[in-house]
Structure formats: C-alpha cells, structure tokens
C-alpha cells in the first residue's frame, strides 16, 4: 500500500486553486487566438464586433462605390473570363491585383478594378439618407429608352458605408489584417471570398468589413439619450420593495 505524504496533498490542492484563479482572470477567448504567439494578434475582441453584410453585386459582379469599384468572381471564373464580362483589359486587371491572366478565381472572390467601368443601373452605393431619387429615376428612364425592354420598376438602390480597401503587403496574414482594423477574421473572409485557410497573397486588395447599422447606432448615441432617466432614490422616503 502506497503512502502519500500530507505535504504532497497540500501542494496539489494549492496548485489547483492557483490555476482556477488564473483562469477566472482570463478573457473569454474561445478561439485561443489571443494566447498564441504575439499578443498583438489577439482578435478575440474583434470577433465580438458586429459587421454589416457585403453589398450584392450586379449581374456582371460589379459593386460600385463612389471612389472605386470591385468585381465579385462567379463560380468557374478565370481572371480573363471576368475581364471579358466586365469589359476590362485583362493585363491591367492582372497587374493591379498581382495575378496572372489565366488564374482561376474562387466564387465570391473580390477583384479590385484599376479604373471604373459602367456603373450598375442603381448607381454607386451611397450612405443612407444621401440617395437622390430623382437621379435614380432619370437613370431608369434613360436605361428604358436605350433598351426595348419596358419596365415600371426603378433599378435597385443600395446604401452603405464605403469600406477601406487594404492592399496586402509581404508578411501580412488575414489574422494580422483583421487585428489591424478590429474586425473578425471570419467577416474578413466572408467579405472577400477567402478560402478555408484564410490565405491572402501579396498585392491582393481586401475590403475591410464595415460596422453593422446597430453597432453604428450604439456608437453614435450620446450618453443619456435613447432611454428614460430613472428617478434617483430619496433619502426621506423608503426604497420600493
């Protein structure tokens, strides 16, 4: 029969209590990214930030913002096929994105355009409240006059915030870029059609996901607004049950 000294039991119990206390002081970082390698790459806080959905492209795959355009690849696309569909020189497109003309694209992959092509029927994506309905209606009339198809519907108009467009530098990863802009790596992958390993390449242009409307409202609300101020307790009257 083995005999364990009492001091050994005290040592084990003390070690267990110290471990539990240390765990209670750590943040909830279930994906463990905050505990691997350099702490600067901790994206646990970014993973909790809500982001908006990426705008829908037109039939060609074009998303048009006031200052730039991007194309969203379709299933089976090559860079050359995408260039033909949007009416752009494939050499210019390949050079701008650090790719080759015959490279295969993933469905949903974002390709930055070096210069603008024809805008979608609904025009560029504008911030909410800045959409000119008269201009949109005029564009719809011009479009109807140019084509034999008659329609009474206005072209779809999308609103949203123009995202930052980040060019990947050598040594950067999806995780470091997500941390840089305080967004989740999953949102970054969804917006840009990254693969399961979140691979990025040097020279690639990434759209940085924008904050959701709910989060923007929360940030823009001044303290004390949006909810009634409770009545402070009185020193002369008893507190309610």
What pTM does this model have?
A: 0.62
pLDDT tens for the chain, residues 1 to 241 = 555 555 655 555 555 555 555 555 544 444 444 544 554 555 555 445 678 899 999 999 999 999 999 999 999 999 999 999 999 999 999 999 999 999 999 999 999 999 999 998 888 888 876 555 555 545 555 555 555 544 445 556 778 889 999 999 999 999 999 999 999 999 999 999 999 999 999 999 999 999 875 454 444 444 445 445 455 555 666 666 6
Q: Distance (Å, rounded) from C-alpha 234 to C-alpha 238?
A: 7
Structure tokens given for 26:
């750590």
Residue 19 neighbours by CB under 8 Å, 6+ apart: none
End-to-end CA distance of the chain: 61
Question: How far out from the chain centre does Cα 19 lie?
Answer: 37
**Tokens matching residue 218:** 């929360």
Rounded distance between C-alpha atoms, residue 210 and residue 54, angstroms: 8
Rounded Cα distance, 16 and 7, in Å: 14
């Amino acid at each position: 029969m083995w005999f364990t000294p009492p001091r050994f039991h005290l040592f084990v119990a003390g070690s267990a209590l110290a471990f539990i206390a240390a765990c209670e002081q750590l943040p909830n970082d279930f994906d463990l990214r905050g505990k691997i390698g350099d702490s600067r790459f901790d994206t646990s806080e970014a993973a909790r930030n809500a982001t908006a959905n990426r705008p829908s492209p037109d039939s060609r795959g074009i998303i048009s913002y006031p200052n730039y355009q991007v194309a969203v690849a379709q299933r089976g696309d090559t860079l050359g096929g995408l260039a033909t569909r949007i009416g752009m020189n494939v050499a210019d497109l390949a050079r701008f994105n650090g790719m080759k003309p015959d490279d295969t694209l993933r469905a949903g992959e974002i390709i930055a355009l070096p210069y603008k092509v024809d805008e979608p029927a609904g025009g560029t994506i504008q911030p909410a409240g800045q959409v000119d309905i008269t201009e949109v209606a005029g564009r719809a009339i011009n479009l109807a006059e140019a084509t034999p198809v008659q329609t009474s519907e206005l072209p779809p108009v999308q609103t949203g915030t123009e995202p930052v467009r980040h060019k990947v530098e050598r040594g950067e990863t999806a995780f470091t870029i997500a941390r840089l802009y305080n967004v989740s790596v999953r949102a970054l992958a969804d917006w840009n059609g990254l693969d399961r390993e979140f691979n990025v390449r040097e020279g690639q242009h990434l759209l940085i996901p924008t904050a959701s409307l709910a989060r923007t409202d929360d940030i823009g609300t001044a303290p004390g607004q949006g909810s009634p101020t409770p009545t402070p307790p009185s020193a002369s009257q008893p507190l309610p049950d």
